[in-house]
Amino acid sequence: MNPTLPLHLQVNGQAVACEADASRSLLEMLREDLGLTGTHQGCDTAQCGACTVLVNQRPVKSCNRLALQCAGQAVQTIEGVAPADGPLHPVQEALRAHHGLQCGFCTPGLVMRLIALLDEGAAPDEAAVREALSGNLCRCTGYEGIVQAALSLLQPLARDPA
Ligand code: FES
Ligand code: FES
Please give the share of the chain, as a percent, with pLDDT higher than 70: 98
CA 80 from chain center: how many Å? Answer: 10
Residues 77-115 have pLDDT tens digits of 999 999 989 899 999 999 999 999 988 899 999 999 999
Look at residue 126 and give its three-state secondary structure.
helix
37: exposed, middle or buried (Cβ count in 10 Å: 0-12, 13-18, 19+): middle
| Residue 146 pLDDT | 95
| Radius of gyration over every alpha carbon of the chain, rounded to an integer in angstroms | 16
User: How does DSSP assign 45-114, residue by residue?
Assistant: SSSS-TTEEEETTEEEEGGGSBGGGGTT-EEE-GGGSS-TTSPPPHHHHHHHHTT--SS-SSHHHHHHHH
Shared domain for 13 and 69, answered yes or no, is yes
How many domains, in total, are found in the chain? 2
User: Does 94 lie in the same domain as 72?
Assistant: no
In the prediction, which pLDDT does 156 show? 85
Ligand 2 mean position to 139 CA, how many Å? 5
With contact defined as beta carbons under 8 Å apart, do 104 and 131 qualify?
no
Dump pLDDT digits (tens) for 120-151: 988 889 999 999 999 999 988 789 999 999 99
Give the H/E segment covering residue 17. Answer: strand 14-21
Ligand 2 is surrounded, with C-beta below 6 A, by 102-107, 138-141
| 75 burial type by CB count under 10 A (0-12 exposed, 13-18 middle, 19+ buried) | buried
**Residue where a domain terminates, one of 53, 80, 107:** 80
Binned at pLDDT 50, 70 and 90, residue 162 comes out as low
- Statement: residue 153 has pLDDT above 80: yes
For residue 114, the model assigns a pLDDT of 97
Confidence of residue 161 (pLDDT cuts 50, 70, 90): low
- Containing structural domain, residue 106: 90-159
pLDDT confidence band for 119 (50 / 70 / 90):
very high
Residue 76 lies inside a defined structural domain of this protein:
yes
The rounded Å distance from CA 159 to ligand 1 centre is 34
Supply the mean pLDDT for the chain: 94
Amino acid identity of residue 129, one-letter, is: V
Place 45 in a pLDDT band, splitting at 50, 70 and 90: very high
Shared-domain flag, residues 72 and 42: yes
Structural domain ending residue among the three candidates 21, 47, 80: 80
How confident is the model at residue 50, as a pLDDT?
A: 97
Task: Report the separation in Å between the CA atom of 62 and the middle of ligand 1, taken as the mean of its atom positions.
Answer: 7
What confidence category does residue 159 fall into, taking pLDDT thresholds of 50, 70 and 90? confident
Please give the span between the terminal C-alpha atoms of the chain, in angstroms, as a whole number.
51
